[in-house]
Amino acid sequence: MKYKDYYAILGVERAASVATIKKAYRTLARKYHPDVSKDPDGEAKFKDLAEAYQTLKDADKRAAYDQLGPHAAGQDFAPSRDWGETFHREFGGEQQSFDGIDLSDLFANLGRQRAAQPVTGEDFEVTTTIQLEDAFTGREVTLNLNMPVFDNAGRVRREAKQFMVVVPKGATQGQRLRLRGKGGPGANGGRNGDLYLTIKIAAHALYRFDGHDLYIDLPLTPWEASLGCVVEVPTLGGMVNLKIAPGTIAGQQLRLAKRGLPMSPSHGELKSGDLFAIVTLVMPPVLSNAESALLKQLADISTFDPRKHFDQENVCA
Amino acid sequence: MPNAMPNSIVDHRNTMWLDPSQFVTLAELMQISGFTEHDIRDFVDIGVLVPAASSAVQPEFSAACVMTVRKAGQLKADLDLDQNASVLVITLLEQIRSMECDMGRLRALLPVFRRL
pLDDT tens-digit profile of A209-224? Answer: 999 999 999 999 999 9
Check CB contact of A173 with chain B, cutoff 8 Å.
yes
pLDDT for A167 beyond 90: no
A155-160 contact pairs (CB < 8 A, 24+): A155/A96, A155/A101, A155/A105, A155/A109, A156/A101, A156/A105, A156/A108, A156/A109, A157/A100, A157/A101, A157/A105, A160/B1, A160/B4
From the list A29, A144, A215, which residue is nearest B108 (CB)?
A215
A191 touches chain B (CB under 8 A): yes
Q: Which one of A128, A140, A178 makes the best mutation probe of the B interface by having the most chain B beta carbons within 10 Å? A: A178
Contacts (Cβ under 8 Å, ≥6 apart) of B51: B44, B59, B60, B61
Tell me chain B's radius of gyration from C-alpha atoms: 18
Q: Region A235-248: what's the mean pLDDT? A: 96
Interval A92-141: pLDDT, tens: 555 556 666 677 767 766 655 555 677 788 888 888 899 999 999 988 88
Inter-chain CB pairs, A–B, below 8 Å: 106
Distance from the Cα of B17 to chain A's closest Cα (Å) equals 5
Q: Letter for the amino acid at A214?
A: L
Considering only CA atoms, which of A44, A178, A50, A46 is closest in space to residue B70? A178
Among A64-73, A252-261, B73-82, top mean pLDDT goes to A252-261
Q: Which residues contact B7 (CB under 8 A, 6 or more apart)?
A: A161, A162, A163
Contacts of B108 in chain A (CB under 8 A): 208-210, 213, 215
pTM beyond 0.80: the answer is no
Distance between CA atoms of A177 and A143, rounded to whole angstroms? 13
pLDDT of res. B114: 66
Mutate to test the interface with A, among B112, B113, B114 (most CBs of A within 10 A): B112
| Across A68-89, average pLDDT | 75
Inter-residue contact A145 to A122 (CB < 8 Å): no
Report the residue count for chain B.
116
| A62-91 core/surface letters (b: 16 or more CB in 10 A; e: else) | bebbeebeeeeeeeeeebeeeebebbbeeb
Burial per residue of B81-95, b for 16 or more beta-carbon CB atoms within 10 angstroms, e otherwise: beeeebbebbbebbe
By the 10 Å C-beta count (0-12 exposed, 13-18 middle, 19+ buried), B45 is classed as exposed
Which residues of B fall within a CB distance of 8 Å from A179?
10, 14-15
Share of chain A above pLDDT 90, in %: 46
State the pLDDT at residue B4. Answer: 40
Amino acid (1-letter code) at residue A13: E
φ/ψ of A70, rounded to 5, equals: -80, 135
Task: Give the C-alpha separation, A294 to A122, whole Å.
Answer: 72
Residue-wise pLDDT for A130-143, tens only, equals: 999 999 998 888 88
A295: CB partners within 8 A, 6+ apart = A287
- Mean pLDDT is lowest, of A23-27, A113-117, A168-172, B52-56, for A113-117
pLDDT tens track for A48-64? 998 999 899 988 889 88
What's the rounded Cα separation, in Å, for the pair A137 and A272? Answer: 12
| B45-48, long-range: CB < 8 A, 24+ apart | B46/B87, B48/B87, B48/B90, B48/B91, B48/B94
Which residue numbers of B have CB closer than 8 Å to A's CBs?
Answer: 1, 4-10, 12, 14-19, 21-22, 31-32, 63, 66-67, 70, 75, 78-80, 100, 104-105, 107-112, 114-116
CB contact under 8 A, B104 and A144: no
pLDDT over threshold 60, residue B55:
no
Interface of A with B in 17-56 (CB under 8 A): 22, 25-26, 29-30, 33, 35, 46, 50
Q: Which residues of B fall within a CB distance of 8 Å from A176?
A: 17-19, 66-67
Rounded-to-integer distance, Cα A171 and Cα A134, Å: 9
Residue B16 and residue A173: Cβ atoms within 8 Å? no
Residue A303 contacts B, CB cutoff 8 Å: no
- Residue of B10, B13, B109 to mutate, testing the A interface (most A Cβ within 10 Å of its Cβ): B10
Interval B86-106: pLDDT, tens: 999 999 999 999 999 899 999
Neighbours of B57 (CB within 10 A): 4
- Pick the residue from chain B with its C-alpha nearest to A30: B79
